[in-house]
Structure 1
């Protein structure tokens, strides 16, 4: 065998291996692109599904939180309305504009409503709000029962303490409000 024949055989082997290798390389490259693409699409689909589920859960949490905050504000409004009504009655009685019989009827109404308000507040309010409400209501009960003198400054101080505790609880503002009027 001559060198020329040996080179032809070697060249034929390299060519056949090269063609098969090129075919294997081409298929490997194609599969190497196809599989990651399919895996990526599958992962994208799973992530999109999980993201959608998380969004729905967040919407439920948001809706529940907003509903709770709205209920809390409505309860605080109801409490303030009850307190405002008895304060107006006490002011009217102290100034002689409200006869004792009508003042008694307003006190009876207040007494019923304060118990209801206490129950509502107990369901939603933190202890700071409850303490401020207790202090104000105790003062009003003492005055209404004739066991304490009606002092507007003290009532206003207790009412502002309650309002400031409510403001902190609902997140309106952490800084306290104060009365800066002349009376």
Structure 2
């Protein structure tokens, strides 16, 4: 056996082991991926299921929150319309455009609206809104009962406090509205 034969034999041995090594490496890589996929499949399925459930829960929370805010805005709008009507009646009476006999009938209407407003607010308003509303209604009731005088500037301050409490509650703006006019 000569050096050529020895070289051919060593080369053949290395080539056969190298080919087998490559084959073993490829097969072990494939088998590792197969096992990993089989092991991870239940985890991926559970994760996807939990993710979908979380998305559904978030959608329900979002829808509930939006509906609640919409209901709150509609109720506050009704409250503001009632308060505007009450204040317009007071202004008409104080300026002499509404006779006393009609004012008495409007007082009964005011009382009904006042109770309705309170009912609307108790279903959705926080205490800060209720307190501001109570201050406004107490002042107006004192005027109706002759225990206080009607002063538009005071009415405006108390009414703006109620409106600012509403605005803060629905998150429109936290900075309060102020009257900057001349009257």
With structure 1 as the length reference, what TM-score do the two structures score? 0.82
Q: CA deviation at 1:26?
A: 6.0
Q: CA deviation at 1:124?
A: 1.3
RMSD of aligned Cα (Å): 2.3
Indicate the larger mover: 146-155 or 41-50. 41-50
> Partner of 2:72 in structure 1?
72
SS at match of 2:147: coil
Gaps of 5+ in 2: 1-12
Gaps of 5+ in 1: 1-13
Q: Deviations over 1:43-70 (max 9, x none)?
A: 3332222111111110100010111111
> Partner of 1:173 in structure 2?
173
Find the aligned partners of 2:45 and 2:65 in 1 and give their Cα distance.
30
Find the aligned partners of 1:39 and 1:107 in 2 and give their Cα distance.
77
> Partner of 2:10 in structure 1?
none
Matched, 1:100 2:100: yes
Q: Deviations over 1:32-88 (max 9, x none)?
A: 110112333433332222111111110100010111111111111111111111100
Q: How is 1:75-86 mapped onto 2 (pairs within 5 angstroms)?
A: 75-86=75-86
With structure 2 as the length reference, what TM-score do the two structures score? 0.82
Change (3 A) 1:178 1:26: closer
